[in-house]
Amino acid sequence: MNKFGVVLVGHGSKEPYNKSAIEYFAKKIRKKYPLVRYSFVQINEPPLQTVLEEMAESGVDRVIVQPVFLTRGVHVDQDIPKILGLPKGSKTGTLIFGKKRIAVVLSEPIGEDDRIADILSDRIAEALRD
């Protein structure tokens, strides 16, 4: 087979905007990658573990886990790798759900990117117009 899925992982928040933003990104990314789900590390549903189980049930061979975090931190460096069962410092591993084994790849957070700087510049320009 060689079917893969993408799981976006957000922080989670009591504020509804947090979840709606992650849902928005998932919807947009589905235009390029058909099997995209979203999850959260805390507070919001669904949790990452649940979505990984659903991915395994869907028949994927590989899951790309994409943190929707601007920078590295405890969730990206410790919590998410722990949920994925990754050894310290590793970005790849194998998850086992019953008899199903799937490869997992942990992507980098957004990080330093000129496209983000462009968005920030746009927001500053908008604020200046207000």
User: For 79-88, how does the pLDDT look when each residue is reduced to its tens digit (9 = 90+)?
Assistant: 999 999 998 8
Catalytic residues: 11
Structural domain boundaries of the chain? 4-129
Q: Indicate if the pLDDT at residue 98 is higher than 90.
A: no
Structure tokens at 11: 């922080």
What's the pLDDT score for residue 44?
94
Segment 20-34 shows an average pLDDT of 96
- The predicted model gives 71-97 an average pLDDT of 92
Q: Distance of alpha carbon 124 from its chain centroid, rounded?
A: 27
pLDDT of 88: 87
pLDDT score at 99 = 86
Q: What is the mean pLDDT of the chain?
A: 94
- Taking the domain 4-129, which CATH number applies? 3.40.50.1400
Whole-number pLDDT of residue 1: 52
